[in-house]
Every structure is written in C-alpha cells, then in structure tokens.
Copies of this chain bind each other. A is one copy, B any other.
Amino acid sequence: MAEGIKGMATAEGSARRRRTEERRRRILDAARARADAEGWAAVTTRHLAVSIGYTQPVLYGHFPGGKSEIMRAVALEGFTELAQVCRAAVGENVGCRAVEAVAVAYLDFAAAHPALYEAMFQSPLDARFAQQDAESELREGFAALADAIGDDGDGTVTEVLWGALHGLSLLERAGRLRTDHRDERIAELAARFCR
C-alpha cells in the first residue's frame, strides 16, 4: 500500500514535472515566435502570460530571473542550433570549400533567425554570466569554425573569422551592405581565410 501510494506519488510528481516542463517549453516557444515576428521589445511578460494562458507571476515560477532569463534560455538553444548548423556545413569539406560552406551556413542562420541571433549576441545580458551558461555550446560552434579553416594554431585565426562572420551578419541585417553582393563577400572571405 505504502508502496502503491509512493508509486502514485512519484507518478504524480513526474506528471507534474512533465506539465511544468511542457509549460516551460511553451513559454520559450511563445517568446521566440513573438520575438521573430515583432522583435524582442514586443516580448513582454504580460503578452507572454496571455500566450500561455496564465498570469504574469507564473512566468517567474519558471524563470525567476524574469524576461532576461527567458531570453537567455532562448539564446542557449540558439547556440546549440548554430553549432549544429556549422558542423553540418563543414561536413566532409576541406579547404576553401569548407570555409565557404560554413560562412554560408553561419550567415544564413543569422539571417533566418534574426531575433534568435540577437538574443545570443546583442542582448543586454551580463556577458560574463551568459558566457558561462553557453560556454560548451559556444565552444562547439567555435570548434566547427576552427575545423573549417583548419586552424592548427592557437585559435587566433578562428577568432578573426568568427568576428568577420559576426560583423557581416549584423551589417547585412542592418541594411548597411549591398545585399546583391553577398556571394562576392563570402567568396572574398573564403579566399582570404582558406589557407
């Protein structure tokens, strides 16, 4: 009996945890969808609460840090996705082909998910803290870039390549580069970094 009750209890507990987990998921999805559609400024705790069918304080049960913690959680997933995308782009390619492939993948990712990319890099989060959270994911993406250019040094070249990709993605989105010269830029970048 006691065992049965205990079993019930844990089942209940896991059911509850499952519900909690699912609601957490819905919060993050709603935040990301809204940010993609209207920008992060439009992602308000009130709107988020309505989206998931609860009131504001419920959000703080899942994310005590409030909106910034929600953004951080979204960003974290972004780092994972970006690393996967870069890794896949490198694939079996080597040399210039690898650099070009990873550059295309990186810029496409940033262009396709502007809000996500913003949360990852432009959000007003404490850099130190955000870096700790995302350290392993960041390392994986960094490693993918290093592989692409065959960086066998101390990582300096990879840092510069990353900087270039990061800067180009932001300037492109800001409309400060000629959109019809994107391919030329990628070719130029690859040519300068593939060896």
8 Å CB contacts to B: which residues of A148-177? 154-157, 159-160, 162-171, 173-177
In the bound complex, do residue A170 and residue B170 qualify as a contact, i.e. CB atoms below 8 Å apart?
A: yes
When the two chains form the complex, which single residue of B163, B173, B175, B192 contacts A167, counting CB atoms closer than 8 Å?
B163
Copies in the complex: 2
When the two chains form the complex, which single residue of B156, B167, B169 contacts A162, counting CB atoms closer than 8 Å?
B167
When the two chains form the complex, which single residue of B122, B175, B184 contacts A156, counting CB atoms closer than 8 Å?
B184
Interface SS majority for chain A? helix
In the bound complex, do residue A163 and residue B159 qualify as a contact, i.e. CB atoms below 8 Å apart?
A: no
Indicate whether A117 reaches chain B with its CB closer than 8 angstroms: no
Indicate whether A4 reaches chain B with its CB closer than 8 angstroms: no
Q: Which residues of B contact A169 (CB under 8 A)?
A: 167
Central interface residue in A39, A156, A170, A185, by most chain B CB within 10 Å: A156
